[in-house]
């Protein structure tokens, strides 16, 4: 069929390095497949195809230097997989992957608040969906590990370093597996087999190793040896030396404090004049992560909801009320710090924690809500809008306009304004694998 020829031509153009031509050909294929899908929109096979081809179009747009078009293509792919996931649990993996990719694209644009919402939605999808590809030893499957690696980088760049470390090291464990200690003489010292069946591109493993290494290095001499081993593993994987989002963010006007987790931020907030009762309640509600083993409960869950416990929490996570209460307390504390001009970085950290708790309460409580848009409309809240505006102004003052504008757009939504982006028309398992051709 004609669209199959277009997809093949797009792949050839991409391999030849002509990304604009590849994107043009892929876009034409999308339009053809969208027409076929429109004839029978309830057909899951056609929906799978359209979602996959649209997903690959996003990769080509991104590689052609048009991140805005890439986000719009991922929006369309998300809509399709969100329809599928309500009927086909297997669609949860592709849906999480789409959201993780969009989180990365937004992060490269400096849109940290939006990137964190996408990352959380992706991780909640992994958390709530039972994955048939999971391994008997409890490790994450390669598809989930890719999502963890990408989201760990986003979390490290803009969110909580504790959660970033959990996500990155889960990805490392899943992608290395038994290759951490290969048989003697099977592989050169310091290298790992990345060509075994089902092994993803080594770029994902390299990204996860580098992010985890940078975070551990920032935490002092006690973790320096592990940081060195992670960095050495990344260096010997043979992946292209593409800089991570975290490394790019470190050189920005507002670099992350990788040594300061949420517990530390709460204690600093109390010292800076935050309400002691609020900080005490939040510290009691926080489940401390443990990245050195596999403890029970939520300690290996790299989501904000997984960090919050409640007396009557459900087995698969906290109730929406518990998460909402913590978000309210975090927002109040962030407002105190931002208004006092005491420590804007700590105030911003707390505000972003509240932002992520507010962004996806339904998905955390109910697997059936996985199909909701990651940035769905929310009820108007003028007080929250004011806090987002205050944070936006503080960030603009330190010279980070992209992040500031992103927060301002969320403030507009909190005032009851239009959605972050309008739902775009559909431009479209089995696509050209363009994202996998990227370093990670």
Strongest mean pLDDT among 275-289, 326-340, 348-362 = 326-340
State pLDDT tens for residues 151-186.
999 999 998 899 999 999 999 988 886 444 333 444
The total of other beta-carbon atoms located within 10 Å of residue 23's CB is 28
| C-alpha–C-alpha distance, residues 75 and 65, integer Å | 18
Phi-psi region of 416 (alpha: psi -120 to 50; beta: other; left: phi over 0): left
Q: Is residue 401 part of a domain?
A: no
Nearest to 282 by CA among 382, 218, 357: 357
Looking at the fold, whether 266 and 349 belong to one and the same domain comes out as yes
Looking at the fold, whether 142 and 251 belong to one and the same domain comes out as yes
Q: Is residue 222 part of a domain?
A: yes
The last residue of one of the domains, among 200, 225, 257, is: 257
DSSP, res 413? H
Does the structure show a pLDDT above 70 at 59?
A: yes
200 band by pLDDT with thresholds 50, 70 and 90: low
Residue 434 — φ and ψ, nearest 5°? Answer: -65, -40
The total of other beta-carbon atoms located within 10 Å of residue 218's CB is 17
| C-alpha–C-alpha distance, residues 8 and 262, integer Å | 48
pLDDT, the chain, mean: 80
Q: Is residue 121 part of a domain?
A: no
Residue 266 — φ and ψ, nearest 5°? Answer: -65, -40
Is the separation of the CB atoms in 97 and 77 below 8 Å?
no
DSSP, res 183? P
pTM of the full predicted structure? Answer: 0.85
Looking at the fold, whether 282 and 218 belong to one and the same domain comes out as no
Q: Is residue 316 part of a domain?
A: yes
Looking at the fold, whether 246 and 228 belong to one and the same domain comes out as yes
Higher pLDDT, 47 or 440: 47
Structural domain count, the chain:
2
Q: Is residue 365 part of a domain?
A: no
Looking at the fold, whether 242 and 336 belong to one and the same domain comes out as no
Looking at the fold, whether 187 and 282 belong to one and the same domain comes out as no
The total of other beta-carbon atoms located within 10 Å of residue 10's CB is 29
| C-alpha–C-alpha distance, residues 244 and 440, integer Å | 10
| C-alpha–C-alpha distance, residues 94 and 100, integer Å | 10
CB within 8 Å of 271: residues ≥ 6 apart: none
Looking at the fold, whether 339 and 226 belong to one and the same domain comes out as no
Looking at the fold, whether 325 and 271 belong to one and the same domain comes out as yes
State pLDDT tens for residues 8-51.
999 999 999 999 999 999 999 999 999 999 999 999 999 999 99
Looking at the DSSP assignment, which residues form a beta bridge with residue 314? 317
Helix ranges, 251-319 (H): 262-271, 276-285, 304-307
Does the structure show a pLDDT above 90 at 428?
A: no
The last residue of one of the domains, among 359, 392, 412, is: 359
Helix (H, G, I), strand (E, B) or coil at 314: strand
Looking at the fold, whether 223 and 335 belong to one and the same domain comes out as no
The last residue of one of the domains, among 340, 359, 378, is: 359
Token pair listed for 383: 């007080």
Q: Is residue 88 part of a domain?
A: no
Q: Is residue 107 part of a domain?
A: no
Q: Is residue 15 part of a domain?
A: no
Q: In terms of residue numbers, what domain contains 274? A: 260-359
Looking at the fold, whether 239 and 271 belong to one and the same domain comes out as no
Is the separation of the CB atoms in 408 and 114 below 8 Å?
no
Looking at the fold, whether 251 and 138 belong to one and the same domain comes out as yes
Looking at the fold, whether 303 and 288 belong to one and the same domain comes out as yes
DSSP, res 317? B
Enumerate helices (H) and strands (E) in the chain, giving the number of each. 19, 0
Mean pLDDT of 241-249: 88
């Amino acid at each position: 069929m004609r669209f199959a020829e277009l997809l093949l031509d797009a792949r050839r153009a991409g391999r030849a390095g002509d990304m604009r031509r590849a994107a043009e050909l892929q876009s034409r294929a999308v339009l053809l497949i969208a027409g076929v899908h429109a004839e029978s929109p309830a057909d899951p096979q056609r929906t799978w195809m359209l979602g996959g081809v649209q997903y690959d179009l996003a990769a080509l747009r991104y590689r052609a230097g048009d991140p805005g078009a890439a986000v719009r293509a991922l929006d369309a792919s998300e809509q399709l997989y969100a329809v599928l996931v309500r009927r086909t649990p297997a669609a949860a993996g592709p849906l999480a992957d789409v959201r993780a990719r969009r989180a990365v694209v937004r992060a490269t644009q400096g849109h940290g608040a939006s990137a964190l919402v996408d990352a959380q939605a992706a991780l909640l999808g992994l958390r709530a969906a039972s994955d048939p590809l999971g391994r008997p030893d409890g490790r994450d499957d390669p598809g989930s590990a890719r999502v963890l690696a990408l989201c760990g980088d986003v979390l490290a760049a803009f969110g909580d370093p504790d959660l970033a470390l959990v996500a990155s090291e889960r990805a490392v464990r899943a992608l290395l597996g038994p290759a951490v200690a290969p048989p003697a003489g099977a592989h050169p010292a310091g290298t790992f087999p990345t060509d075994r069946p089902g092994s993803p591109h080594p770029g994902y493993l390299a990204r996860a190793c580098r992010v985890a290494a940078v975070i551990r290095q920032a935490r002092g001499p006690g973790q320096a040896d592990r940081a060195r081993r992670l960095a050495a593993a990344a260096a010997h994987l043979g992946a292209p030396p593409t800089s991570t989002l975290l490394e790019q963010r470190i050189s920005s006007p507002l670099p992350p404090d990788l040594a300061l987790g949420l517990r530390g931020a709460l204690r600093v907030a109390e010292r800076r004049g935050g309400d002691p009762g609020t900080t005490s309640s939040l510290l009691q509600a926080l489940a401390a992560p443990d990245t050195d083993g596999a403890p029970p409960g939520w300690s290996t869950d790299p989501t904000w909801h997984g960090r919050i416990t409640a007396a009557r929490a459900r087995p698969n996570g906290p109730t929406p009320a518990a998460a909402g209460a913590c978000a309210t307390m975090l927002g109040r504390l962030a407002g105190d710090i931002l208004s006092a001009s005491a420590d804007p970085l700590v105030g911003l950290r707390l505000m972003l924690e509240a932002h992520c708790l507010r962004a996806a309460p339904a998905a955390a409580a109910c697997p059936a809500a996985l199909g909701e848009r990651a940035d769905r409309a929310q009820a108007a809240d003028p007080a929250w809008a004011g806090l987002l505006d205050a944070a936006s102004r503080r960030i603009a003052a330190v010279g980070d306009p992209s992040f500031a504008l992103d927060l301002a757009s969320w403030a507009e939504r909190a005032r009851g304004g239009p959605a972050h982006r309008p739902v775009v028309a559909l431009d479209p398992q089995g696509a050209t694998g363009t994202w996998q051709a990227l370093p990670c």
